[in-house]
């Protein structure tokens, strides 16, 4: 049976998505991602049950459970909970040992964590005051443009790179700026590139404050948007590293929590 194996779980309840990961004998087992709800307690339980089911495990096969993320206090069945900064740092470092700078762009905030060679957090900075530049902001602008979120990256690469300069700092003003550009018949790719560039500028300012050390890796849902990644690479003048085996960059908090367990 599974009794001979060391199995731990990490549950990451974010503002937009909830994740659960199993760490089995020092390797990544199953993981699941689902939307967060207004009932984080139930969402946490549901994610955990789904990940156990995927792995064909029972709850008593799992030795230890750690909660993390914005809703970590609501993971009532966890043995302990940890900050998402530690979790993301550890998750990234475990899957990509060369990682030193971890940029996490989540649904509602952006964090940058600087790790030493041993994977300890030396420095961090977070911006949770402003929605512009987060996952939710991208959803909001895509919606205003009447396009799906996955269209953004296609548009980003569908022409020369000529991003428009967006002067506003606030998401509500950026929205009206974008709508004006559309009305002025500015080509959509250049508007989308400008949008991604404005996010990159914002993130790069945070990175420069902690000091960039390579390798640089990006986690969180926005890491799946190749347009934001491209704009950030142009801005920081470094290549961002990706995780091996196509592991979802949204999973780093959950994986880190399972590893720390």
Sign of the C-alpha dihedral, residues 165, 167, 171, 174?
A: negative
pTM over 0.75: yes
Residue count of the chain: 261
Cβ burial, residue 167 (10 Å; 0-12/13-18/19+): exposed
> Which CATH number does the domain 98-242 belong to among 3.30.420.40, 3.40.718.10, 3.40.50.170, 3.40.50.720?
3.30.420.40
Place of tokens 């990175």: 207
Which distant-in-sequence residues (6+ apart) come within 8 Å of 99 by Cβ?
A: 92, 93, 115, 215, 216, 217, 241
pLDDT of residue 4: 80
pLDDT of residue 165: 96
pLDDT of residue 243: 94
Tokens of 242: 């990706």
Preceding omega of 208 cis (within 30 degrees of 0): no
Question: In terms of Cα–Cα distance, which of 146, 129, 149 is closest to 138?
Answer: 149
pLDDT of residue 1: 59
pLDDT 10s digits, 33-83: 999 999 999 999 999 999 999 999 999 999 999 999 999 999 999 999 999
Stretches in the chain below the pLDDT threshold 70: 1-3
Question: In terms of Cα–Cα distance, which of 209, 251, 237 is closest to 111?
Answer: 209
Q: 1-96+244-261, superfamily in CATH?
A: ATPase, nucleotide binding domain (3.30.420.40)
Please state the separation of Cα 217 from the chain's center in Å: 11
In whole angstroms, what is the distance from residue 221 CA to residue 256 CA? 16
Packing angle of the helix pair 135-145, 171-183 (nearest 10 deg): 30
Q: Do domains 1-96+244-261 and 98-242 have the same CATH topology?
A: yes
pLDDT of residue 131: 81
Which distant-in-sequence residues (6+ apart) come within 8 Å of 67 by Cβ?
A: 10, 11, 12, 13, 44, 73, 74, 75, 78, 80, 81, 82, 257
Q: Where are the domains of the chain?
A: 1-96+244-261, 98-242
> Would you give the DSSP letter of residue 120?
-
pLDDT of residue 130: 81
pLDDT of residue 170: 87
Tokens of 230: 């491209």
In whole angstroms, what is the distance from residue 242 CA to residue 163 CA? 25
Mapping DSSP to helix (H, G, I), strand (E, B) and coil, where does residue 45 land?
A: helix
> Would you give the DSSP letter of residue 185?
T
């Amino acid at each position: 049976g599974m009794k001979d194996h060391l199995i731990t779980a990490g549950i990451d309840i974010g503002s937009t998505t909830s994740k659960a990961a199993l760490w089995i004998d020092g390797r990544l087992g199953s993981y699941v991602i689902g939307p967060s709800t207004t009932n984080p307690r139930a969402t946490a339980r549901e994610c955990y049950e789904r990940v156990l089911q995927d792995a064909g495990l029972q709850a008593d096969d799992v030795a230890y459970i750690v909660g993390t993320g914005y809703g970590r206090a609501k993971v009532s069945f966890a043995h302990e909970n940890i900050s998402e900064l530690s979790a993301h740092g550890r998750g990234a470092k475990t899957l990509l040992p060369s990682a030193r700078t971890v940029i996490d762009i989540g649904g509602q905030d952006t964090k940058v964590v600087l790790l030493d060679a041993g994977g300890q957090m030396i420095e961090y900075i977070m911006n949770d005051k402003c929605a512009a530049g987060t996952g939710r902001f991208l959803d909001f602008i895509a919606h205003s443009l009447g396009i799906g979120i996955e269209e953004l990256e296609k548009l980003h690469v569908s022409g020369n790179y000529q991003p428009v300069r967006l002067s506003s700092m606030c998401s509500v003003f950026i929205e009206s700026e974008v709508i004006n550009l559309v009305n002025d018949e500015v080509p959509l790719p250049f508007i989308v590139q400008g949008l991604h560039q404005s996010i990159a500028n914002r993130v790069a300012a945070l990175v420069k404050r902690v000091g960039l050390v390579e390798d640089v890796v990006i986690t969180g849902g926005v890491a799946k948007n190749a347009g934001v990644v491209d704009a950030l690479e142009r801005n920081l003048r470094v290549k961002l590293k990706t995780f091996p085996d196509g592991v979802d960059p949204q999973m780093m908090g959950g994986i880190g929590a399972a590893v720390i367990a």
